[in-house]
Amino acid sequence: MKYIVWSLLIAVHVSIVAAASLGKEAAFVQVADKRLNGETAAKTERPLPEGAANVKYQEKPHVIDLAKWGIRNDGTKPVETTRGINKALAWAKKSGITAVKLPPGTYLIDKNSRIDMVGNMLLDLTDKVTLQKETNGKESYQLLNVGYGANNVTIRGGVIKGDKDSHDYSKRDSSHTAGTHEGGYGISVIGAEGVTIEGVTATHFTGDGLVLGAHGTMVHDLYENSFVSGGIDDKGKPIADAKRIRTVMPIKFDHAIFKERGEFEMSNPIKLNRSFDIYFYSSKNALISLKKGVKTRDILQLPDGASYAHLVFHQSGFKGAYIEQWNRALSTDVVVKNSEFGYNRRQGITVGGADFVLIQNNELHHMKGTMPQSGIDVEGGFGENGNRNSRIFIIGNKFHNNASYDVILYDGKDAVVEGNHMASKGAIGLAVSPPFLGALVKDNHFDATRIIAYHDVKFVNNRMNHSFTTLEGPNISIDGMEITDGLLGISAKQPNGVTATNVTIRSSDKRFGAGLSLFGKPVKLSNITIIGESNLRTVSGGAEPGSVIDNLKVIGYNSEFGLSLPPATYNNCVFEGAEGKRLGAAGISLGGKYVFNGCTFKSSSTAAVSLLADHPKLDLTVKNSTFELLGDTTAISVQAAANVLLENNKITAGRLTKENVELVKLNDYWKRTEKHDILKAVIQGNSIQSNLPAIGISTAYAGTGAPSYTIKNNILEKAVLALKANDLTEGNELKK
């Protein structure tokens, strides 16, 4: 176990999975696109997993005869009870029975064994049946297992309960195990197909209520004596080549697993390149086909008639070389619905090697005891020679009181997380880590839970409150999000790796933080509305220059702390300060290029400054914008800059009570004897209106040695000019 990113890497106690075919990937894209667009997919496209829905079980379940099989329903005789249930299931299958039922009661399940489901069977437990795991000291156990080959199974109803509260955590299964006791599972599904778990309650396990894993078969392992120097030509003949190595003995496909599953992968290479060429031969030693540039962990389909294969690696040596050949059978087409998973030590559900899974309308709560403490964790340990996950649908579930996470998408690809209520207050509602690719996150409510996403996530119409996001990118997009008393935090790792549009952020309680925070590389944002006065700044950040922000509206921002705007081009944006104190301004305190084009600034009656800029490396442009001043307020104050352009703006100061207010000023009285720190300035084509003869444009206090600034073609009504002697002036019009 080791820490990776923000969680412990889970040691999943199952083996692993095969990858989805290209056809399945294409199908997922169709499904995700249809869900995104609100369309209903045709029934033939199977928009969601069905589990065992199409299996025809007998209408009336057979009631298992407890006396006949030596089963006790009074919580005693665990060995006899477990053995009896397994015998009854095997007998039912052999007898052609497809649905069985246990009478009400508590069934104590042996600490040294488990219930093993048979295929094509409905196990109807009802809410009056409890399967209780016997108290034990084992690090790993299962109460009920749906194993490889046990396909088309439904488990309906019942309470599946672990021994968490009475477990002996002091023992180890062997001297080589970690001693963490996190592998106690309620239900394990290992490489089965067509499984439905419905109306089940799985609680109090030392590990997980449910784990979906994969059946792994290591067919061959190859060591350095399995290789010789040389290559193979395109006709399949060995050739001398000092820069390549090839297998000595053929890799045969005579294992029983290949009669059922015609695919394999090469895994876990040591001192071998992670790509190779493979040559397939018939039983008569004829070359059937070859593939070049295959990567380890790629899924390879056996060509028709293939009897064996040889591998060729593009490297000269093979000392210490090692690689494994695996077949991995995923748990596939699994549905988990209308169930409850609670009070488990590790998590509610682990998806640790599965494809095409629907987890819907479940309640997952109170996971606490050993990391990651999550409601659902999609994590197969693929990067550590573990399992693949793909096409996972997490829809309409309720999460609460989980210690660390509600949902983790740790590794795998293609997930839909939709319509969930993630309410484990103070925890992470959703974490999408670097090894996961492709998630659609739609219509969820993050109720005081955070969002952490690294890349390849599409967020659509989610809402959140009293929390914040951490979004890095690339390939993260937001279209529609409502945030109450929360923070949209973006820390882009690549330019434009995060985009956001149609976001509304409301501050309803000044005790909490709310707003937009930008760091990292530049991003593209549009139609962001931020309303209300939070405890600090509703816009802040230190992103690198280059962002483009269109139609940002910041209404009623904090009258004391104002805004700390990151460098960007702001098009058609609106900034309105709240009433109350003087210091809150739309502030610029970073270097780089700022452009305000077509923006509207409306100051409160108490504000001292509307737009305040101060950085020696600042390149500031304000053009085609309007300033409405409701008090004795300076529209634009520049205290330091490398370059300033104020062009074609309209400034209206209709409520002045003092004539000494400077509406546009470069530096101020208190810095008049200091060395100048505004290197270049052009103020032209602006319209300035005031109700008193205030100072419309002031450069008089620019500092010692200040260069000539260009002040031209401005129209001032009632306001006057206060300029340095060396300024270049022309075309300015003063109206009374």
DSSP assignment string, 495-558: TT-EEEEEEEEE---TTS--EEEEEES--EEEEEEEES--SS-SEEE-PPS-EEEES-EEEEE-
Question: Cα separations (Å) of 226 from 218, 220, 249, 315?
Answer: 16, 11, 7, 15
From the candidate CATH numbers 3.40.309.10, 1.20.58.220, 2.160.20.10, 3.40.50.2300, the one assigned to the domain spanning 1-219+329-467: 2.160.20.10
Residue 523 token pair: 């991003």
Q: What is the pLDDT of residue 18?
A: 29
Look at residue 47 in the predicted model and tell me its pLDDT: 84
| Confidence (pLDDT) at 32 | 56
- Within 10 A of 495 (CB to CB), how many other CB atoms are there? 16
Residue range 496-520, pLDDT digits in tens: 999 999 999 999 998 889 999 999 9
Q: Quick one: pLDDT at residue 182?
A: 96
Region 234-246 average pLDDT: 97
Q: Helix (H, G, I), strand (E, B), or coil: what is residue 130?
A: strand
How far is the CA of 482 from the CAs of 45, 443, 681, in angstroms? 32, 10, 40
Q: What is the mean pLDDT of residues 581-606?
A: 96
Contacts of 317 (CB under 8 A, 6+ apart): 245
Measuring CA to CA, how many Å separate 488 from each of 502, 538, 551, 589?
A: 12, 10, 16, 21
Q: How far is CA 6 from CA 67, 155, 387, 640, in A?
A: 52, 34, 20, 41
| For residues 356-360, average pLDDT | 98
pLDDT at 236 over 80: yes
Q: How do residues 656-713 score in pLDDT, each as one tens digit?
A: 999 999 999 999 989 899 999 999 999 999 999 999 999 999 999 999 999 999 999 9
Q: Is the dihedral of CA 50, 55, 56, 59 positive or negative?
A: negative
| Per-residue pLDDT at 571 exceeds 70 | yes
Alpha helices in 399-458 (DSSP H): none
Determine the pLDDT at residue 385.
Answer: 86
Q: What percent of the chain has pLDDT over 70?
A: 94
Neighbouring CB atoms inside 10 A of 656's CB total 20
Is the pLDDT reported for residue 100 higher than 90?
yes
pLDDT digits (tens, 9 = 90+) for 403-422: 999 999 999 999 999 999 99
Question: Does 5 have pLDDT greater than 70?
Answer: no
Output the six-digit token pair for 513: 């933080």
CA separation for the pair 266, 276 (Å, rounded): 10
Mean pLDDT value across residues 334-345: 98
Q: pTM of the entire structure? A: 0.92
What is the overall mean pLDDT for the chain?
93
Query: Which band of pLDDT confidence, cut at 50, 70 and 90, is reported for residue 1?
Result: very low
Q: Is the pLDDT of residue 312 over 90?
A: yes
What are the backbone dihedrals phi and psi of residue 518, each rounded to the nearest 5 degrees, phi first? -120, 125
CA dist 675 and 677 (Å) reads 6
Mean pLDDT of 291-302: 96
Q: Is the pLDDT of residue 159 over 70?
A: yes
**For residues 622 and 648, is the Cβ–Cβ distance under 8 A?**
no
The residue ranges of every structural domain in the chain are 1-219+329-467, 224-320
15 pLDDT exceeds 70? Answer: no
Instruction: Give 162-182 pLDDT, tens digit per residue.
Output: 999 999 999 999 999 999 999
Torsion of CA 194, 414, 527, 37, to 10 degrees: -50
Answer whether residue 96 shows pLDDT above 90. Answer: yes
Q: Which residues of 397-406 are buried (b: 16+ CB within 10 A; e: fewer)?
A: bbbbbbbbbb
For 16-72, the pLDDT digits (tens) are 222 333 334 444 444 555 554 544 333 334 589 999 999 999 999 999 999 999 999
Task: Read off the pLDDT band of 291 (50, 70, 90).
Answer: very high
